[in-house]
Amino acid sequence: MKNVVVVGSQWGDEGKGKIVDWLSSEADVVIRFQGGHNAGHTLVIDGKTYKLRLLPSGIVRKNKISIIGNGVVIDPWALLDEIEEIKNKGVDVNEENLFISEAATLILPIHSELDAFREDSSKNAKIGTTRRGIGPAYEDKVGRRSIRVVDLLSEKNLDNKLAILLEHHNSLRRGMGKKEFSKQKLKDDLFKIAPKILKYSKPIWKMIEEFKKSKKKILFEGAQGILLDVDHGTYPFVTSSNTVASSAATGSGCGMGSINYVLGITKAYTTRVGEGPFPTELKDNIGETLGEKGKEFGTVTSRKRRCGWFDGILVRQTVKTSGINGIALTKLDVLDELDEIKICIAYDLNGEKFDYLPASSEQQYKVKPVYKSFKGWKKSTCGIKKFSDLPINAQNYIKFIEAFVETKVSTISTSPERKDTILIEDPFEA
């Protein structure tokens, strides 16, 4: 049995929900290992739609264990609202099927306010943050002043930690001309919800070791995409955590040897939400068509996604930086009606060819894509379940992607429906 990590190989929004749902039906344990409630998965099961933000996708299935790891930053009020929302849809959430790392950092109202202050400041270039406090919470974690789940156990301890936290934040707020934050109110608000959060709190690293000994299948679920990784993405237009597959180990408390297969979810074209460079972006009718047919709006924010051609350079790069063993190609059917389809195979920067995306954001904005063109297949691929049944031009497109990004295409999605999937290799059995 193998443990599988699922990551997005582009800028997020690759259609992880459907693939993660399929994999979670096979897994015994599903672990969310990074990010916050700024990204989500949409699952459709037996006609019901579930929009998950913090909860791992295993929560909607019976007899599965769901874990929120130490690498996640948790808005406790948002989490409790999400639990209540999903309970109202008939999903049982309890202390036997949901566990939260005692070491996970909490997102507080002060974090989301700081997020908004910075994004609205005319002095700063906009990053495109979701204003949910993710970045400021990670800053406090690295600065060793964050409030963690375990800190809710002791009022005296929490009081001391809040004093340290607010000394930092209130100095920032004074500098911005904003009102100082009240420690007493924040402490009271946290203690009001503390029992509801602490009942799920566990030493997750210890649980994972027990799962491994009993040979349970573990699915590590990432949020966003590798190109938003704070180290390996299009910095500074990135998220505040590491989204590469290796962060599954640090974000949950297990060794790298616990990870056996990395599946990169990859859209058959490219999208991006928010600000930042996007070499293959299409600001024309084709881009609009991709957005309309692909229903390209964010699960959490409903923000419209920017659309463009498949960028082979970027996906090949994320395959290397994240150790991807196979990709799940999604939304192939969105391309069905196009006469011509293009793939970026190189960048041109002032006459110089690049086979990777330069690290400098200035250069990232300036690179021009070099394309290889393919004839469209002009036939519906929706619902096809065998590779050999795909139109020959669609097969050629997929085979080229596989060869160019230098890893196998293990799964192909041909519609939003879970059953409409071409399975070439099962990650749990590969």
Active site residue 13: yes
63-89 as b/e: b if 16+ CB within 10 A: ebbbbbbbbbbbbbbbbeebbeebeee
Q: What is the DSSP letter of 129?
A: -
Is the sign of the CA dihedral 23, 329, 244, 261 positive or negative? Answer: positive
CA distances, 115 to each of 174, 273, 280, 357 (Å): 15, 17, 29, 28
One-letter amino acid identity for 317?
Q
> Which H or E run includes 109?
helix 109-120
> Three-state DSSP class for 242?
coil
User: Among 239, 227, 218, which Cα is nearest to 320's?
Assistant: 227
DSSP 13: -
For every residue of 147-178, DSSP letters joined together read -BGGGGG-HHHHHHHHHHHHHHHHHHHHHTT-
Q: What is the largest CA-CA distance in the chain?
A: 68
Whether 284 is a known active-site residue: answer: no
| Among 21, 37, 41, 333, the one annotated catalytic | 41
Residue 102, number of CB atoms within 10 A of its CB: 19
CA distance linking residue 314 with residue 316, whole number of Å: 5
Q: Are 105 and 197 in contact (CB under 8 A)?
A: no
State the number of CA atoms in the 13 A half-sphere of 181 facing the CB. Answer: 24
Question: Which is the catalytic residue, given 13, 75, 229, 311?
Answer: 13
Q: Which residues are catalytic?
A: 13, 41
